[in-house]
A and B are shown apart, each in its own frame.
Chain A
Amino acid sequence: MPRLPLENVRVIDLTQAVAGPFATMLLADYGAEVIKIESRTRADLARRWRPFAPGKEQDLNGSGLFASLNRNKKSVTINLKHPRGVELVKRLLGRGDVIVENFSARVMAGLGLDWPAIRAANPQIIYVSMSGFGHTGPHRDWPSFNMTIQALSGLSFLTGFPDQGPLVIGNSWADFVGGLQATVAILAALERRARTRQGERLDLSQYEANVTLLGPVLLDYLLNGRVENRRGNRRADIAPHGSYPAKDPDTWCVISVADDAAWARFAEALGAPPWSLDPRFSTGDGRLEHADELDRRIGEWTARRPAREVIEHLQAAGIAAGLLQTEADLACDPQLAQRGFLQEVLHPVLGRIPLPGTPMRLSGTPGSARAPSPRLGAETEAVLSEILGLTSSELADLARSGALT
């Protein structure tokens, strides 16, 4: 059994929905013991989110999204509105390394779990909050979801065509980015703690997590006073650059030609048609200026050919060309298949399901989706007895009191 980078790390996970669970999933994939605290009255929202296996729409263990985001974790039900429930969380903190939550800003203090209380429970713990806007500032209480952040962060404004409305990415993109930023913050804090032995409190804003990916666009305004607009698939510096229809309905090739040398190879790969020799297209500036006509000509060429044939032909000529892949294409992509990107997990309700694995291959300590997502509360007694040493009569008493619901 190979060692895992986080095999000595225990995470007390109060997150739900997508961003937080995605972060703790990455930690669990690399060996952290992630104790997911839920309650029966307020189970993780993602247990009710698509996609569901056929016939499992009403099953709290039937969401494929939840199954992927919560693999390798343990589910413990604790009622955080019950004083003995909060006491249990504090005792778990005493045995934990990291606590993560993505409640809105006021919730933790309301539960009696603000930073001083957390720190008192364990001075060496790393506490990461990952609310929409952070725990300070005038908008700290604004509710936020993925699409709110796609809109506010500048991402949506920059996506689409200049003469049409702003578009979005049709998945929970902003949540994934928030989760990745939280993961970096947690790992960096663990690395610092290994050197300094100090606990830390990190207040992450999912809004900032997404804004920050647009650094050069922000600098364009800060230094040049320019507000960049969306521009479809065009770039300011190179042409051609875009998506082009292929022969079959709604199949597309994507092509970008970086410089004059690439343009020469591209034109030759197209069979050097007379239009490609037009001097207007011989320089980068000329191609940018006449991008409309260039795109039309290229589109006419690609539309007569199957997409895969086009991109294999162009790749052979050293041109950056790609295929518009849907989920169906990803499921049988030979590159992803050979690298084992999809990893199969045996799930108690969903059966054998392939889940997206990790984009990082660590040669010495590889992470993986090893165990399925937990049934709600599946490890409550095991965790509380093994980690906190509670006896069966203490557990029964807690259950009767309503602290474990």
Chain B
Amino acid sequence: MTGTGESPRVLDLTGPLAIYGTRLMADLGADVIRVEDPAGDSIRRSPPFAGDVPDPEKSLAHLSFNTNKRSVTLDLRSARGQEIFRRLVKTADILVETFSPGYLETLDLGYAALREINPGLIMASVTPFGQTGPSAAWEASEITLWAMSGLMSITGDSNGPPVLAAQGYLVTGVAGLYTAIGSYLGLLARRLTGEGQHVDVSAQEALASTMVQGLVEYLFNQRITGRMGAKHGHIAVAGNYTCKDGFWSLSIGSAEHWHRLVEWIGDQELATNPALADEPERYRVRHLVNEKIEAWARQQTRAELVAEGQARQLPVASINTAADLVADPQLGARGYFVAVDHPTLGTFRVPGLVTDVLNRPRFRPAPLLGQHNEEVYGEIGLSQEAVQGLREAGII
């Protein structure tokens, strides 16, 4: 369907590194077809599960990342499966895959072969280290990528071990975001050139692209950031601070913020040093500044600090849990959570789009395994009998 007025069609052969990227494209209107092994994709086996019951339809990662997609099953290792896959590719705008570099070539389904049958195809290959280079074949997981990208060197206490942030979901998130960006760039380029292309995304580089402050600092001054616990490594006042009953978050991003904070704290030494209104000078003496803030805040509760800070128009915050987020009036008012009707789990809410509050579309739940076999294979011209035959042969 290359170059038509329709929404793009995406074939989705992805694991954790790109599965959020194809979810984003599905949310934004693309027809995303998940092509799963007849036994079900491995994401369906990842815990936790709804009701804590291990079941391929109840993995929360599956329910979250496959919202709005369709599912077909297909055995890509069989010759008949490969033939059907090529027919699917003919109808697709984008193919996203996360196999080890070179694997699809062994099935004769690499980019060079697929381009022959669909010159307009944009194929995005998302791997831990990219398609080329000495580490291209290395094994990886979320935590090893967090470490190899530099991010783990700035996550953790200086006197404790380096830490993976947020259980590794951020790796899935950022690699997925670049997956979507690369895919859309390919679509837009095709409008100019008439041709598809191969998009090679490295998850290590995707994560390392956020290390710009530390990298440039090192290149200028040969200094590394290190683990700063709950503080920003490159901004004087930014991060979680201790208070009487736990923690709160405070950031000072401008001279106005600084003046408001100093007035609030009422500390003579901070107030009488006008140079501290300028970020570079404040950063130079940040340890002193932060000790004063911590000592002052330890006298007050989190609720007091957050309420008063907001009244003073400062970027303050409490440290939210999932329960806080679900109850949050701001997310509620914007309709951020969207209800879906799942055939077996009933109605539940999923995270929705991060834009476009006026036009939140209807969402469909993550598909059952092979739910759209008849529909999708019918669209590429297979009869009901043919589909039944494939099912009996174990191809789908």
A349 adjacent to chain B (CB < 8 Å):
no
Per a CB cutoff under 8 Å, which of B168, B218, B337 touches A328? B218
Residue contact B201 to A224, C-beta cutoff 8 Å? no
Give the complex CA separation of A329 and B217 in angstroms. Answer: 13
In the complex, which residues of chain B have a beta carbon less than 8 angstroms from the beta carbon of A358?
Answer: 205, 209
Are A187 and B163 closer than 8 Å at their CB atoms? no
Do residues B163 and A327 form an inter-chain contact, with CB atoms below 8 A?
no
- Bound form: Cα–Cα A135–B352 in Å: 17
Interface string of B164-201 (1 = CB under 8 A from A): 11111110111001101110111111011101111111
Label chain A's interface by main secondary structure: mixed
Quick check: is B65 within 8 A (CB to CB) of the other chain? yes
Q: How far is the CA of A221 from the CA of B61 in the complex (A)?
A: 13
State in angstroms the CA–CA spacing of A398 and B52 once bound together. Answer: 67
Contact A166 B351, CB 8 Å, known A5-B185, A154-B321, A219-B63? no
Q: Which residues of the partner chain B approach A329 to less than 8 Å between Cβ atoms?
A: 150
Determine if B65 and A215 form an interchain contact, defined as CB atoms under 8 angstroms apart: yes
Query: Does B224 belong to the interface (CB within 8 Å)?
Result: yes
Task: Give 20 A-B pairs besides A202-B356, A217-B167, A227-B321 with Cβ atoms closer than 8 angstroms.
Answer: A45-B253, A50-B235, A68-B212, A134-B334, A150-B249, A167-B163, A169-B154, A170-B154, A190-B184, A216-B60, A221-B325, A232-B161, A232-B163, A245-B161, A256-B141, A331-B218, A336-B204, A359-B202, A361-B199, A364-B189
Contact code string A163-191 (vs B, CB < 8 Å = 1, else 0): 01111111111001100110111011011
- Indicate whether A203 reaches chain B with its CB closer than 8 angstroms: yes
Is the beta-carbon distance between B208 and A336 smaller than 8 angstroms?
yes
**Cβ contacts under 8 Å, A335 to chain B:** 129-130, 133-136, 204
Q: Which residues of B from 198 to 244 have beta carbons under 8 Å from A?
A: 198-206, 208-222, 224-235, 238-240, 242
Counting CB contacts under 8 A, is B46 at the interface? yes
Q: Does the CB pair A144–B205 fall under 8 Å? A: no
CB B285 to nearest CB in A, in angstroms, measures 14
Residue numbers in B under 8 Å from A170 (CB-CB) = 154-155, 225-228, 231-234
A365 at the interface (CB under 8 A from B): yes
Total count of chain A residues near the partner, CB < 8 A: 153
What B residues does A103 contact at CB under 8 A?
none
A15 CB to nearest chain B CB (Å) = 14
In the complex the two chains form, is A360's CB within 8 Å of B199's CB? yes
A304 at the interface (CB under 8 A from B): no
Expressed in whole angstroms, the minimum distance between the Cβ of B316 and any Cβ of chain A is 7
The answer to the question of B149 belonging to the interface, with a C-beta cut-off of 8 Å to chain A, is yes
CA distance A147 to B354 in the complex (A): 19
Which residue of A49, A144, A184, A194 is within 8 Å of B191 (Cβ)? A194
| Chain B residues within 8 Å of A354, by CB | 219
> CB of B393 within 8 A of chain A?
no
Rounded to whole Å, the gap between the CB of A371 and the closest CB of chain B is 17
Q: Taking the complex as formed, is A112 at the interface, i.e. its CB lies under 8 A from any CB of chain B?
A: no
Q: How far is the CA of A232 from the CA of B155 in the complex (A)?
A: 11
